[in-house]
Chain A
């Protein structure tokens, strides 16, 4: 049973517009959430994280929103750039368990 779900396999947006990537989770023990970006044939790169004590975290063009009651988080990229085209993975961990549970990823394509 998948505990972290990214229901959109792909997303296409125009350069300069907002990209919104979504992630849902089912395990109520998760209290730390991360987003990673991955190019083909490379390892994931850490982008941004959020603790369950917050509902928003911002870092430059990237903002992550957390809705604990809905068990939902989203990553906003504004403005989107062609270099943002990659697979984005949502990941979660909980309690004293340092292990991460990943979603299947969403392929973002930003068109010039």
Chain B
């Protein structure tokens, strides 16, 4: 099982602020993901990375950006936060498990509220 960490756990900020959500994993997984989830809704993939210097946009359009300079670190940045960005942001990582595909393991999430 992956050890994956997210900071901060909770963040309340004003409109227009720049924020960075941190995500780190200690298992050496090559793949990492960012999801956005609202209550009662499915998790939506907003970014993913299959390795260092590789990043792709997910299925849900997002104004955020990501970087993958080190295997263990996958931060997400919002240049100018808006109330519509209020959500829970979940980071995950995975590596091939030999069972057909990867199993993704999630961090505890960051609950972001933009006022």
Q: Which positions in A face B, CB cutoff 8 Å?
A: 2, 4, 9, 31-32, 34, 36, 41-46, 49, 51-53, 89, 91, 93, 98-100, 102-105
Contact = CB atoms under 8 A, between A and B. Distances in A.
B59 A43 contact: no
A45 B106 CA distance: 7
Contacts, number: 68
Interface in B6-47: 6, 9, 31, 33, 40-45
Interface of B: 1, 4, 6, 9, 31, 33, 40-45, 48, 50, 58-59, 88, 90-92, 94, 99-109, 111
Nearest to B105: A46
Contacts of B107: 43
SS of A interface (majority): strand
A41 B109 CA distance: 7
Nearest to A93: B101
Contacts of A43: 4, 6, 90-92, 106-109
